[in-house]
Structure 1
């Protein structure tokens, strides 16, 4: 394998080299994004240096889910999800359903998704989104794996659909939660988990989350970067290229802990334990491991 072109010095300045007091699980990392193609080994090394020891790679369609599975097979501490994002729901058909079912049988795949509803952009129609999401709810029941859910401006309909399936599905997490109090409390009533990102660190739109973060039950809270997206806006230094990455997760944990009024180490320990249980991973997954490299 060729040596990565970027180093700690020219990607993360010293002030941005955070280290979590205890191991962290990033439950939403889009490492199949093209921006990581040239320096993935360095990205993973920086994550390990930050004590972010387990990464769940988000599979938003067949292509990216397959890529995530391949990465997970090559690198310890990496796992994958497999689903069809609501933006691509119009593509759902029997062949795609069969492909998803096959992916869910792979041991590297630890959740069904990213799937759900997005009535903000409606790249696929609401009807198409509901059809694809309903089918993936069925696949989650069939596989017994938890759900990794995307929801934007569709809280009421999401709650209605999940309520109808709640007795049959296993655990479910609404990743990158950004909604309002009513939606959060509806998800709480359904016993869902909540994933928080650097949205909380955005002074333009994250204020309401700072007020709500204490309302999320601690044993239902998980953390994620959603990288390369949602780079925290309140980082103590500018980042060249503006690409988010897993090594910055400790900053998000620090911010969440601040707004919850608790110690960073306690939040790190609890969210990691919750994530390991949710994705059914052994506790030793958080131990640092030597990276497998391609020959």
Structure 2
């Protein structure tokens, strides 16, 4: 057993998905493709919104930030996994593991907060349409975004500092393709009671709180939509929420699936596959959900590619 002062010589081993040599090229190609789709898809959303002045509204301001966070979220884990597959190595240094754990947790929390803020934006737009521009002014939107970053950074910093006080055996094997904070804490040799308590309260406050806010917002939205007399008005109001509601459902169902699967089974491969759902599949699907079900985004993308085509021909 090593003391906390000896953690500089520690290294962790990321088990990944399979040790079969013949499967490594297939796994590498599969995850590289998913990563590139995620990055380029979210970049297109950012470029489309930035290039169209009609989309410079709170709803699309938060969508741009969500796309940026999704890029950072996947970039904190997938590149290291691809390097490990290519070099046929499972090793990640202690410092690298702590950094990966920090940024993956931080951007995961930011995803959660931004989805909550976007639900509040839809709540104000549908339930208080006459006061929307007054309430969701640029200063307030910026403040909501700033608070999300600050709370996420401080919360993740606290968890990381608590992990730093733990001691580990040498060559610790993590049953994941990245350093997930829950798995790292489980593998510690020292007492993790304080970590578990902070993790529990953090999950309740920073996970349950935003979820409760989203559910409350949509309960009010549903109530307001039901009071609309015309069918066309109901459809128009509901259509503005479909994309966001789809992303929220995908995010929370995949996260809950990860924790339920880890609690129900100790199979490391099943746990790793479950983690892929929320850490890579969800960020990859978000651009498709917003672009396929949103006429404004599709129009902005067509306009963006049209402008790009004109510039190339010139």
Coarse TM-score class (shorter-chain normalised): under 0.3
Greater fraction of residues in strand: 1
Larger radius of gyration: 2
Greater fraction of residues in helix: 2
User: Which structure is higher in RCO with an 8 Å CA cutoff and minimum separation 6?
Assistant: 2
Task: Give TM-score, length-normalised by structure 1.
Answer: 0.27
